[in-house]
Amino acid sequence: MNALSTMLLIAETFVELCEETPLKKVSISDIIARTGKNRKTFYYHFENKDCLITWIFRYDLGQELKRCFPESALVYEEHTNDSASMFPYYIMQKSGVRSLDHSKFFDCFGKVLESRRRFYTQALLDNNPYSLRNYLYNLYLPALRRDIHTILANRYLPEENIQFLAEFYTCAFLYYHIRKCDQPGVEHLTGQSGPFANIIHSSIEMQIKEAQLRRNL
């Protein structure tokens, strides 16, 4: 069994256990017992449960992005020792010189959460420094900053304004999905945005245009 197959076995076993027992109560010993692997094998691939949770998300999202987008549109992290860096986590899709259309990315993001909704709802409730929710914030904040620079296209905006926009829209996109995931009565996390599917990037673009107009008056 190669490394990826072993990691997938551990990951799927963990998700199965979380269907039977609340995530917080599932221990590494439980995972080891169910997989038949030893503790050394687990820690060779994953530092702890938080790392396993984030790896599962990155794997799920990576597979969905590869299914929906050409390789040329996929965005990867710069190579790190983190095994999750082999999977794409974002896209770059222009719809004009200073416009981005990432609506299909957000659709993919929602579909991934929906595919293991019970598991991800539990994981996203945790707010410890190494939790999935904080991991995603730290992953997508730089991505939204790059998007803002793309939309700016050499136009000037003070650095503190760029940082504010990046933080605001990263929080908006993540909290929307976190809240929907845990919201009773919501059957589907995708397909509800209609003409506002690209609202994150169209709103960033509009705010930058308005800021430029105010500077030029």
Nearest CA among 141, 166, 67 for reference residue 107 = 67
pLDDT at 179: 92
CATH topology of domain 74-216: Tetracycline Repressor; domain 2 (1.10.357)
The pLDDT assigned to 161 comes to 95
Q: Give the Cα separation of 162 and 156 in Å (integer).
A: 10
- Indicate the domain borders of the chain: 74-216
End-to-end CA distance of the chain: 65
The radius of gyration of the chain from alpha carbons, rounded to an integer in Å, stands at 19
Question: What pLDDT shows up at residue 184?
Answer: 83
Confidence of residue 191 (pLDDT cuts 50, 70, 90): low
pLDDT class for 195, splitting at 50, 70, 90?
Answer: confident
Q: Provide φ and ψ at 139, rounded to 5°.
A: -75, -45
Mean pLDDT of the chain: 93
pLDDT digits (tens, 9 = 90+) for 121-149: 999 999 999 999 999 999 999 999 999 99
pLDDT bin (cut points 50, 70, 90) of residue 216 is: low
Q: Which amino acid is at 156?
A: Y
How far is residue 66's CA from residue 90's CA, in Å, rounded to a whole number? 10
- Arithmetic mean of pLDDT, 88-112: 94
217: pLDDT strictly greater than 60: no
**Per-position DSSP letters for 78-144, written without gaps between them:** PP-S-GGGGS--EE--EEETTEE--HHHHHHHHHHHHHTHHHHHHHHH--STTSHHHHHHHHHHHHH
The Cα-based distances of 189 to 65, 115, 146, 171, 198 in angstroms read 17, 10, 26, 17, 15
What are the CA-CA distances from residue 76 to residues 72, 84, 92 (Å)?
Answer: 11, 10, 10
